[in-house]
Structure formats: C-alpha cells, structure tokens
Amino acid sequence: MDPELLADLRTPLGADALAVAAEVADADPLVAATRLRARGVAPALAAAALTQADLRRRAAAKFGPDAAGMFLTRPGLEQATRAVVADRRAARLAAAGVRTLADLGCGLGSDALAAARAGIRVYAVDADPLTAAMARANADAAGLADRVTVECADATTVEVERFDAVFADPARRRAGGGRVFDPRSYSPPWDFVAGLAGRVPRTVLKLAPGIDHALLPPGAEGEWVSVDGDLLEAAFWCGPLAAAPRRATLLPGAAELTGTGTVTGPVGPVGTYLYDPDPAVVRSHLVAEFAETVGGRLADPDIAYVYTDAPVDTPFARRLAVTDVLPFSLKRLRTLLRERGVGRLEIRKRGSALEPEKLRRDLRLSGSRGASMVLTRVAGAPTVLLCRP
C-alpha cells in the first residue's frame, strides 16, 4: 500500500471495493478477489481493499465498531493504543485543562482521535507518509477532521512550545520485527523524548511497560495500565499532570491504586487466602499499598503474593483459597493430587525456578477435578500452595 492507493480507496469506487471486501472477507481469497474484479476493481485496489477488510476485522478488538471505517497498516495496528486506554488518557488531559496537544509520532491516530473526541485540538505528526495519510483519513472518517491536523514530519522539528501539552508514543520495534526494550533505540530518539518535559511541562509519554522506574523524570508520575489483566503500557505524566508518584490503572473497570512505590508491606505467615495482584499493581511497585487495601501481608518480603485470613473482594488481584501448604517434593505432590483426583491444574509461580509445563508432565495428572497450584518461596524456602480459585 502507498498513499496513492490509499487515495484510491477513498474514492466512490474504493468505498464500493471496501464494502464488497468486508462482505467477502471470510471467503476463499481467490473467490473474494474474483468478486471484486467482476465489479471492475483493478487488481491492486482489490488487494488493498481485501487487506483493509482483514485488518479492520482484527482492529475491532482495539477500536470496537469504529474499526469498520478505519484505514490501517499491520505495524500501525500492532502499535496503536486501544481505544479504552486512549480515551481514559484523553479524559485526564482534558480534565487537566489541556485544550491543544501535539502528538509526536501519531501512528494511525488512536491517541490523537481520543484527544479530539475529548474536545482537544490536536496537531499530529508522523514521519511515515502512508501512516500520516491514514491518520488523516481516520480523523476524517471519525468526523474529527476539524479538530485534528495531521502532517508528515519528523517529530524533532515540531515547535512544541506552541501547545498546552505534548504526547509522545515512540516506536519501539525494530524494522525486522521484535520489540525494542532499550529506550535508547526508541524512535523518535529517547534523548529527544526525555527532553520534552523540559520544554513543555505538561508532557505525557507512553512507554513499554518494562521501562525502568529510574528513567522517570524527577517529580513525574509513573502509571502502569492493564486491560483485562494484560499489562499494556507505562505512561509518564510530567510536570503539573503528575498526581501521585506511582499509579496502577486497571481497565476497563478503571480501578486505580496510587502510592509512592517505595513501601514494603508487612510480612507474616501464609494465610487462608492468597491474592495474585494484577500485573499493573506489581509493575508499578504498589504491592504494599495493595496489601493495605485488603489488610493483608506478604509471606516473603520479595515476592508479590499477598495473604489474608478472611476473604476480601478486590479489583486489584485474583483471590485463591489456600487448602494446603507444603515444601516442594515431586513425590508428595503426585500422591496428594492423585488422592484428590486432580486432573486439571492451573500453575502460577513467583520466586520459583521450576518450569510449570515440565512439572505438569512430571506430575502425571489423572482425575476429573480442577485445582490451582502456586509455586513460590516462603521465608526463603521453596513452597507449594494448593488452592481453590
């Protein structure tokens, strides 16, 4: 796909091709192409329409029904922020009084469109001509073109000081695939991205969730965001946008936990209930703060499992009822699970070097019951907890 083909897709013939492609997307590729060709659609346009139909179907998980009218590339879709995350960020920016925003490296425009939906005027740039053209088409399709200006430009050339706030979501992938974990390999470059807060106090950076806490600018808020238990991103909220040192945000329910990220929770014995915190809570270093919300304790100061003696409902963790606590012994475990008729075993681990799948094979499970097993350490000793969900 190139910008000319994108322009063709946006003509009446292109719109017709897209509509037909959406109808035949499930059909055999050859049959689908033949249907399009029979309507007088040229091969290149037919292929582009079929690719869009396929990408739009995949994009529904991120963008909901809006995906059906969007223009997408595979890498752009992979890197795009989910609408539920982008909308929440945009609402927070709008609530902080941001009226104009520069989006540096806007990709297909997920964050830019969310900001525009929240009433913010957005100036978005992307260095890639096709991606920038698609972001513009997506703003148009969403009826937000009056609030979103998209240009194909290098982010480092933007006069960011003209805007109330700046947002950057640098590319984190190498050309050959594979994620980039070293922030020095980000594009735009990390030095430029990290320097933005010095130029525009209200800066927000979207970063990989594995980002080192040490890279958080002084005084900034580090937020870790999960959706349905999947850890998706870290966001650094700088200057006056920072509201707490650390925040864990769990979507779609929007449960939020804040704290300093430096506290250690109380340590005590394993309890009747074990809580496995959401990865956003763990990555934001808010396990002690979470333990406080359920009146819980850790059984090992370095392991992020929390225990209580009475059940407490919480959005921040999965709760399991502990039925047995035993030191690790393959033979003993095999006997116990056989006695209980456990044939289905969910294995969780923290602080254990054991490989769950190898252990599952070695246990030679048989039976009809299900159970959960937690491999961990208690006061330094390898320990197995058998649990009921």
Ligand X SMILES: C[S@@+](CC[C@H](N)C(=O)[O-])C[C@H]1O[C@@H](n2cnc3c(N)ncnc32)[C@H](O)[C@@H]1O
* Complex with ligand X: residue 188 or 259, whichever CB lies closer: 188
Q: Shortest gap between Cβ of 117 and ligand X (angstroms)?
A: 13
Helix (H, G, I), strand (E, B) or coil at 324: strand
Token pair belonging to 3: 């910008």
Q: Shortest gap between Cβ of 10 and ligand X (angstroms)?
A: 19
Q: Shortest gap between Cβ of 73 and ligand X (angstroms)?
A: 9
Of 340, 322, 334, 313, which is closest to residue 378 (Cα–Cα)?
322
Distance between the two ends of the chain, CA-based, in angstroms?
Answer: 48
Q: Shortest gap between Cβ of 27 and ligand X (angstroms)?
A: 30
Q: What are the two backbone dihedrals, phi and then psi, of residue 163, each rounded to the nearest 5 degrees?
A: -110, 155
Strand partners, 275: 306, 319
DSSP 234-292: EEEE-GGG--SSEEEEEETTTEEEEE-S-----B----SEEEEE-HHHHHTT-HHHHHH
Q: Shortest gap between Cβ of 247 and ligand X (angstroms)?
A: 20
Q: Is 256 in the site for ligand X (CB under 6 A)?
A: no
Q: Shortest gap between Cβ of 55 and ligand X (angstroms)?
A: 13
Per CB under 6 A, which of residues 368..387 are in contact with ligand X? none
Token pair belonging to 332: 């003993």
Q: Is 90 in the site for ligand X (CB under 6 A)?
A: no
Q: Is 171 in the site for ligand X (CB under 6 A)?
A: yes
Site string for ligand X, 298-337 (x = CB under 6 A): ----------------------------------------
Single residue of 106, 130, 280, 317 touching ligand X by CB under 6 A: 106
**Piece of the chain touching ligand X by CB under 6 A; list 120-128, 139-147, 223-231, 272-280:** 120-128
Of 355, 347, 354, 349, which is closest to residue 371 (Cα–Cα)?
347
How big, in percent rounded to 5, are the helix, strand and coil portions of the chain?
Answer: 40, 25, 35
Q: Is 217 in the site for ligand X (CB under 6 A)?
A: no
Q: Is 169 in the site for ligand X (CB under 6 A)?
A: yes
Question: Residue for token digits 């991120």?
Answer: 62
Rounded CA gap, 149 and 312, in Å?
Answer: 49
* Complex with ligand X: residue 193 or 375, whichever CB lies closer: 193
Rounded CA gap, 304 and 276, in Å?
Answer: 7
* Complex with ligand X: residue 188 or 296, whichever CB lies closer: 188
* Complex with ligand X: residue 166 or 291, whichever CB lies closer: 166
Site string for ligand X, 52-81 (x = CB under 6 A): ---------------------------xxx
Question: Residue for token digits 């019951």?
Answer: 369
**Piece of the chain touching ligand X by CB under 6 A; list 153-161, 222-230, 314-322, 362-370:** 153-161
Q: Shortest gap between Cβ of 57 and ligand X (angstroms)?
A: 18
* Complex with ligand X: residue 188 or 279, whichever CB lies closer: 188
Rounded CA gap, 116 and 175, in Å?
Answer: 30
What is the bridge-based pairing of β-strands 369-378 and 342-349? parallel
Q: Is 140 in the site for ligand X (CB under 6 A)?
A: no
Single residue of 14, 105, 183, 271 touching ligand X by CB under 6 A: 105
Q: Is 110 in the site for ligand X (CB under 6 A)?
A: yes
| CB-CB contact of 199 with 164 (8 Å) | no
Question: Residue for token digits 């990390």?
Answer: 190
Contact positions vs ligand X (CB under 6 A): 79-81, 105-111, 125-128, 131, 154-156, 169, 171, 187-188
